[in-house]
RNA sequence: CGCGGGUUGGAGCAGUGGUCAACUCGUCGGGCUCAUAACCCGAAGAUCGGAGGUUCGAGUCCUUCACCCGCAA
């Protein structure tokens, strides 16, 4: 079976490598064009491109696959195409090319969390489980008929990076299983229940700004969803201040000490730091101030940059 | 050559020309304590990212290199 793989980030690399390791014939990959990344002067390839080059797979890149890629893909004549966080919308003309159709790997249990950043969104919303879905790639985003799903529990303190890694592996397993079904002619597709569908836009940098009037648990979930990227942040004495690890404070003593604090006000001990929120107290565990590396709060506190009474935000 | 911050004992930091190598923590030794991430006493440990320069004299000014990080893409 001739496979054409369309993907861009690390998540897609995991799937691609699973496909290769199971002996499938990947005749090419399509990925986003090389982007200029400046600080460090490295113009970098997408992770999928780097991986494909390493494996000696043909790489195709288009600013717009709909406009520039159709002829190429017809010539490649794949039996099946697989999309995975590709980053471009595909046209019907392209969807009609491969005889086994076009499959997509999506990191959520569809029809929930359609759209970009499903992993982050799950965490932000405090979901307890998530998973991956293999479905037909359709014109409407993430709306195609489902072939199979795999579910996993979200760990209580897991952040997006960690969950991402686990789902990437799961996605690889799922797509290999899906290809097996296709080959055996046992693939059965089930339409999604549109009534249960939820859709979220891509998260942006600014969405990571912490609103200290929210509850501690919501802030905690947001922080997990935004870590390691684009990160949950606030401001400390005018400087960007990221929080990469935290937890909801359970200590009655601390909560009592801070009962008259305003939202965003900090309470610092020798090795621990807390912030008052709209509901409850958030304990900071790992932070990063602009220009510095991320560090444990205890180390950060040694530097004397955060004192009780300081207002974050 | 997109903009900016940073590189000082194991960690976090102070220190902008002349006892300048400080502080908090950690480490080691001792003490106190039922006990402790608490407290007390003492000790080890840095030639201040690399190279060059200015100067009577530089961590502190200049040039350059390397690495780290934030922003923007």
Beta carbon of A271 within 7 Å of strand B?
A: yes
A95-132 exposure pattern, b = at least 16 Cβ within 10 A, e = fewer: bebbebbbbbbbbbbbbbbbbbbbbbbbbbeebeebbb
Q: Which nucleotides of B are covered by protein (CB under 7 A)?
A: 1-6, 11-14, 24-25, 37-38, 68-73
Beta carbon of A291 within 7 Å of strand B?
A: yes
pLDDT digits (tens, 9 = 90+) for A193-206: 999 999 998 899 99
Q: Which of these, A31, A55, A56, lies nearest to A44 by C-alpha position?
A: A31
Please report, rounded to whole angstroms, the spatial distance between the CA atom of protein residue A161 and the C1' atom of nucleotide B43: 44
ipTM of the complex: 0.89
pLDDT digits (tens, 9 = 90+) for A214-264: 999 999 999 999 999 899 999 998 899 999 999 999 988 899 999 999 999
Q: Which of these, A189, A172, A176, lies nearest to A137 by C-alpha position?
A: A189
pLDDT digits (tens, 9 = 90+) for A89-124: 999 999 999 999 999 999 999 999 999 899 999 999
Please report, rounded to whole angstroms, the spatial distance between the CA atom of protein residue A135 and the C1' atom of nucleotide B57: 74
Q: What is the mean pLDDT of residues A286-309?
A: 92
Whole-angstrom distance, CA of residue A220 vs CA of residue A212 = 11
Beta carbon of A204 within 7 Å of strand B?
A: no
Assign A270 a pLDDT band (cuts: 50, 70, 90): confident
- Global pTM reads 0.91
Whole-angstrom distance, CA of residue A287 vs CA of residue A285 = 7
Please report, rounded to whole angstroms, the spatial distance between the CA atom of protein residue A39 and the C1' atom of nucleotide B18: 39
Q: Is the pLDDT of residue A44 over 90?
A: no
In the complex, which nucleotide's C1' lies nearest to the CA atom of residue A231? B70
Please report, rounded to whole angstroms, the spatial distance between the CA atom of protein residue A291 and the C1' atom of nucleotide B53: 29
The pLDDT assigned to A159 comes to 95
Whole-angstrom distance, CA of residue A177 vs CA of residue A183 = 10
Q: Which positions 218-247 on chain A have a beta carbon less than 7 angstroms from any atom of strand B?
A: 230-231, 233, 240, 242
The pLDDT assigned to A17 comes to 97
The pLDDT assigned to A165 comes to 94
Structure tokens at A49: 């491109």
Q: How far is CA A121 from CA A115, A127, A141, A187, A192, in A?
A: 10, 9, 16, 29, 20
Beta carbon of A298 within 7 Å of strand B?
A: yes
Beta carbon of A156 within 7 Å of strand B?
A: no
């Amino acid at each position: 079976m001739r496979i054409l793989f369309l993907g861009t980030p690390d998540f897609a690399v995991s799937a691609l490598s699973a496909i290769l390791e199971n002996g499938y014939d990947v005749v090419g990959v399509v990925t986003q064009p090389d982007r200029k990344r400046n600080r460090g002067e490295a113009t970098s390839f997408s992770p999928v491109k780097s991986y494909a080059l390493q494996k000696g797979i043909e790489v195709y890149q288009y600013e717009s696959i709909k406009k520039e890629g159709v002829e190429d893909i017809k010539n490649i004549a794949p039996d099946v195409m697989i999309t995975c966080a590709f980053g471009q919308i595909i046209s019907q003309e392209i969807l009609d090319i491969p005889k086994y159709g076009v499959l997509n790997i999506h990191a959520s249990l569809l029809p929930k969390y359609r759209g970009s950043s499903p992993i982050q969104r799950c965490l932000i919303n405090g979901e307890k489980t998530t998973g991956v879905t293999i479905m037909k790639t359709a014109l409407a985003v993430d709306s195609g008929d489902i072939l199979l799903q795999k579910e996993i529990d979200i760990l209580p303190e897991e952040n997006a990076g960690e969950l991402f890694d686990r789902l990437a592996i799961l996605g690889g397993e799922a797509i290999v299983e899906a290809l097996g079904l296709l080959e055996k002619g046992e693939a059965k597709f089930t339409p999604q229940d549109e009534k249960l569908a939820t859709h979220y836009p891509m998260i942006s940098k600014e969405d990571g700004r912490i609103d200290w009037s929210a509850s501690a648990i919501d802030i905690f979930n947001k922080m997990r969803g935004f870590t390691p990227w684009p990160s949950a942040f606030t401001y400390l004495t005018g400087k960007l201040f990221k929080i990469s690890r935290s937890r909801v404070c359970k200590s009655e003593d601390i909560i009592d000490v801070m009962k008259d604090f305003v939202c965003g006000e900090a309470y610092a001990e020798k090795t621990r730091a807390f912030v008052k929120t709209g509901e409850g107290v958030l304990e900071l565990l790992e932070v990063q101030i602009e220009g510095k590396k991320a560090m444990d709060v205890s180390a950060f506190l040694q530097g004397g940059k955060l004192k009780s009474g300081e207002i974050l935000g």
